Amino acid sequence: MIFRKTKIEGLYVIEPEVKEDERGYFARIFAKEELEREGLSFDIVHANVSFTKKRGTIRGMHFQREPGAEGKIVQCVRGAIYDVAVDLRNGSKTFGQWVAEELSEENKKMFFIPKGFAHGFQALADNCTVHYKMDNYYMPENSGIIKWNDQGLGIKWPIEEPAMISERDAKAQSFKEFIKKTAAGWM
Express each pLDDT in 68-108 by its tens digit: 899 999 999 999 999 999 999 988 999 999 999 999 999 99
Which residues belong to the active site?
A: 62, 132
Q: Which of these, 166, 181, 161, 179, lies nearest to 61 by C-alpha position?
A: 166
State pLDDT tens for residues 102-119. 999 999 999 999 999 999
CATH superfamily of 42-183: Jelly Rolls (2.60.120.10)
3-state class (DSSP) for residue 154: coil
Give the contacts of 152 (CB within 8 A, at least 6 positions apart): 96, 174, 175, 176
State pLDDT tens for residues 12-62. 999 999 999 999 999 999 999 999 999 998 999 999 999 999 999 999 999
Report, in this order, helix, strand and coil percent for the chain, each rounded to 5: 10, 40, 50
Asked if residues 82 and 122 have their Cβ atoms less than 8 Å apart, the reply is yes
